[in-house]
Chains A and B, each alone.
Chain A
Amino acid sequence: MSDKSTIKLNGREYDFAPGETVLDVAARHDIYIPTLCHDPRLDAVGACRTCLVEIDGWRRLAPACATQLEPGMEIASENERIDRHRQTLLSLYMTDHPTDPAAAEPGAPNELHAMASHYEAPMDWGYMESLRDARPDDRNPYVLFEPDLCILCARCTRYCDEIEGVNAITLAGRASETTISTVDKLSLMDTSCELCGGCIDVCPTGAMGKKMPLVRGDKPERELDKVRTTCNFCGVGCQLDLNVDRDARDGQGRIVKVTSPPVGTTTNDGNLCVKGRFAYDFVHHEDRITTPLIRGEDGELHPASWDEALQAAASGLLAVKDKHGKDSLGFVSSSRCTMEENFLVQKMSRAVFGTNNVHQCAAT
Chain B
Amino acid sequence: MTNSIGEIRDAEFLFVIGSNTSEAHPIIAMEMKRAVKAGATMVVADPRSIWMTSISEKHLQLRPGTDVWLLNAMANVIVTEGLVDQEFIDENTEDWEKVRESVLRYTPEEAEKVTGISADDIRWTARKYATTEKAGIYYTLGITEHSHGTDNVYCLANLVLMTGHLGKPSSGMNPLRGQNNVQGANDAGATPVFLPGYQRVDDPEVHARYEKSWGVELSPVPGLNLNEMMKTVGDDIKGLFIMGEDIIISEPNVTKLEKGMNNLDFVVTQEPFHNETTRYADVIFPAAVFAEKEGTFTNSERRVQRVRKGVEPPGEARADWEIVQALANACGAGWNYTNTADVYDELARDADKFAGISHERLETEMHEGKTGIQWPCPDPEHPGTEYLHENGILRGKGLFVPVEYRPSMELEDEDYGLLLSTGRTLYHYNAATQTRREQGLHMKQSDAFVEIHPRDARKRGVSHGDMVRVSTRRGDVECRAIVSRQVRPGCIWMPLHFGEARANVLTNDAGDPITGTAEYKVCAAEIVKVADRSETKSGELFPGSYYQIEGPGYNVAEAPYGALKVAEEALRQPLSPDKPET
Name B286-309 residues within 8 Å CB distance of A.
Answer: 286-287, 289-301, 303-309
Interface residue? A354 (CB, 8 A): yes
With both chains docked as a complex, state the minimum distance between the C-beta of B577 and any C-beta of chain A, in angstroms: 33
Determine whether B268 belongs to the interface, using a CB cutoff of 8 Å to chain A: yes
Size class of the contact patch on chain A: 35 or more
Could you tell me the distance between the alpha carbons of A247 and B22 in the complex, rounded to whole angstroms?
37
Give every chain B residue within 8 A of A255 (Cβ-Cβ): 291, 310-311
**Are B243 and A278 in contact (CB-based, < 8 A)?**
no
The complex places the Cα of A223 from the Cα of B37 at a distance, in Å, of: 39
Chain A residues positioned under 8 Å from B320 (CB to CB): 334, 337-338, 341
B212 sits at the interface (CB 8 A): no
Pairwise interchain contact B271-A242, C-beta atoms closer than 8 A: no
With both beta carbons as reference points, the residue of chain B lying nearest to A267 in the complex is identified as B5
Q: Evaluate whether A291 and B179 lie within 8 angstroms (CB atoms) in the complex, with A230-B307, A279-B438 already known.
A: no
A25 CB–B CB distance under 8 Å: no
Q: Does A348 contact B328, Cβ atoms closer than 8 Å?
A: yes
Q: How far is the CA of A335 from the CA of B247 in the complex (A)?
A: 13
Do A295 and B282 touch across chains, with their CB atoms under 8 A apart?
Answer: yes
C-beta contact mask, B214-245 vs A, less than 8 Å → 1, else 0? Answer: 10111101111111011001001111111111
Interface contact A328-B300, CB-CB below 8 Å: no
Closest approach, in angstroms, between the C-beta of B343 and any C-beta of chain A?
4
Partner of A294, one of B283, B301, B308: B283
**Judging by beta carbons under 8 Å apart, are B218 and A354 in contact?**
yes
Q: Are A233 and B429 in contact (CB under 8 A)?
A: yes
Interface residues in A139-176 by Cβ distance below 8 A to B read 139-142, 162-166
CB neighbours (8 Å) of B319 from chain A are 341
Contacts of A339 in B (CB 8 A): 181, 184-185, 187-188, 295-298, 304, 344, 347
Set of chain B residues within 8 Å of A194, measured between Cβ atoms: 22, 26, 426, 545
Q: Mark B6-43, 1 if CB is under 8 A from A, else 0.
A: 10000000000000001011111010011001000000
What residues of chain A lie closer than 8 Å to B226, measured between beta carbons? 332, 359-361, 363-364
Per the bound structure, the CA–CA distance linking A282 and B214 in Å amounts to 37
Could you tell me the distance in whole angstroms from the C-beta of B566 to the nearest C-beta in chain A?
12
Which chain A residue has the least Cβ–Cβ distance from B273?
Answer: A287
Query: How many angstroms between the C-alpha atoms of A338 and B304 in the bound complex?
Result: 10
Q: Are A229 and B291 in contact (CB under 8 A)?
A: yes
Q: Mark B511-543, 1 if CB is under 8 A from A, else 0.
A: 100011110000000000000000000000000
Restricting to B307-366, which residues have a CB under 8 Å from any CB of A?
Answer: 307-312, 314-321, 324-328, 330-333, 335, 337, 340, 343-344, 346-347, 366
Contact (Cβ within 8 A) B239 A330: yes
**Does A191 sit at the interface, judged by CB under 8 A?**
yes
| CB-based contact A316/B268 at 8 Å | yes
List the A residue with the shortest CB-CB distance to B54. A165
- Is A318 an interface residue when CB atoms closer than 8 A count as contact? yes
Shortest Cβ distance from B250 into A: residue: A361
Those of A224-250 within 8 Å (CB) of chain B: 225, 227-239, 242, 244, 249
Q: How far apart sit A194 and B560, CA to CA, in the bound complex (Å)? A: 16
Q: Tell me whether A254 is interfacial, beta carbon within 8 Å.
A: yes
Nearest opposing residue in chain B for A184, CB measure: B562
Which residues of A sit under 8 angstroms from B398, Cβ to Cβ?
A: none
Q: Once the chains bind, are B300 and A235 in contact (CB under 8 Å)?
A: yes
Q: Tell me whether B321 and A354 are in contact (CB under 8 A).
A: no
The chain A residue sitting closest to B303, CB to CB, is: A237
Which of A162, A252, A281, A332: most chain B CB closer than 10 A? A332
Residues of B contacting A361 with CB < 8 Å?
A: 185, 226, 244-245, 247, 250
B227 to chain A, nearest CB (A): 5
A265 interface hit (Cβ, 8 Å): yes
- Contact status of A357 and B192, CB under 8 A, knowing A163-B33, A289-B284, A345-B324: yes
Surface stretch bound by A, among B88-96, B102-110, B369-377, B484-492: B369-377
Q: Which residues does chain B contribute within 8 Å of A318, judged by CB atoms?
A: 331
Q: Main secondary structure on chain A at its contact with chain B?
A: mixed
Task: Known contacts A237-B305, A332-B242, A363-B225; decide if A274 and B295 are in contact (CB<8 Å).
Answer: no
What B residues does A338 contact at CB under 8 A? 181, 184, 293-297, 307, 320-321, 340
A53 CA / B133 CA spacing, docked (Å): 40
Whether a CB of chain B sits under 8 angstroms from the CB of A103 is: no
Q: Is B81 close to A, CB under 8 A?
A: no
Q: Are A310 and B314 in contact (CB under 8 A)?
A: no
Stretch at the interface among A16-24, A113-121, A319-327: A319-327
CB distance from B398 to the nearest CB of A (A): 24
**Contact of A268 with B by CB under 8 A:** yes
Contact B434 A335 (CB under 8 A): no
Give the docked Cα–Cα distance between A319 and B266 (Å).
Answer: 9
CA distance A285 to B441 in the complex (A): 15
Say whether B552 faces chain A, with CB atoms less than 8 Å apart.
Answer: no
Q: Does B190 contact A (CB under 8 A)?
A: yes
Bound Cα distance A188, B291 (Å): 28
**Contacts A232-B291, A234-B180, A311-B330 given; 19 further ones with Cβ under 8 A?**
A192-B561, A194-B426, A228-B371, A230-B297, A237-B305, A267-B372, A278-B441, A323-B265, A328-B237, A333-B243, A336-B180, A336-B244, A336-B245, A338-B294, A343-B343, A351-B218, A356-B192, A356-B223, A361-B250
- Which positions in A face B, CB cutoff 8 Å? 41, 139-142, 162-166, 183-184, 186, 189-192, 194-196, 225, 227-239, 242, 244, 249, 252-255, 264-269, 271-276, 278-285, 287-295, 301, 306, 309-314, 316-321, 323-324, 326-364
A–B pairs, 30, beta carbons within 8 Å: A196-B26, A227-B291, A234-B429, A235-B176, A235-B180, A235-B182, A236-B27, A237-B299, A266-B371, A267-B4, A275-B441, A281-B437, A282-B433, A282-B434, A288-B314, A289-B273, A293-B283, A329-B237, A329-B238, A332-B226, A337-B243, A337-B320, A339-B297, A358-B191, A358-B223, A359-B224, A361-B250, A363-B516, A364-B250, A364-B511
Q: What 6 A-B pairs have minimum CB-CB distances, sorted nearest first?
A: A237-B299, A290-B315, A235-B177, A338-B295, A356-B223, A334-B244
